[in-house]
Amino acid sequence: MSVSTHVLDSVLGRPAAGMVVQLFAVSATDGPELLGEGVTDADGRFRLADHDTGTGAHRVVFATGAWFAGQGRETFYPTVSLDFTVVDGSAHHHVPLLLAPFAFSTYRGS
């Protein structure tokens, strides 16, 4: 399975470059396990995993507060955490984020 993301600043209409993003596998018994971490590129994209992360619950966490603070902008959300379930471990999972200082939206991408 592979997991990627694309973060767009919907207020400025441009990619959210330089944002820290983390991928976790989430287990009810063991808690979250960090699987991947990095920073979005100039196009606001980052590939979180190119390896088998298994099926089940996963979480992508975006460090939105630090990103907005680095631009001298306020935000209501210090982090955005998106939980999703992997059913097909061989499929690619794209988890995009459309971001504004006081709102966000997401969907399952392709």
Is the distance from CB of 99 to CB of 77 less than 8 angstroms? no
Residue 101 CA, distance from chain mean position: 16
Note the pLDDT tens digit of each residue in 16-61: 999 999 999 998 888 899 999 999 999 999 999 887 788 999 999 9
Q: What is the pLDDT of residue 26?
A: 94
Phi-psi region of 35 (alpha: psi -120 to 50; beta: other; left: phi over 0): alpha
2-106 carries CATH number 3.40.50.920: no
Domains of the chain by residue range: 2-106
Note the pLDDT tens digit of each residue in 57-107: 999 999 999 999 999 999 999 999 999 999 988 889 999 999 999 999 999
Q: What is the pLDDT of residue 4?
A: 95
Q: What is the pLDDT of residue 89?
A: 80
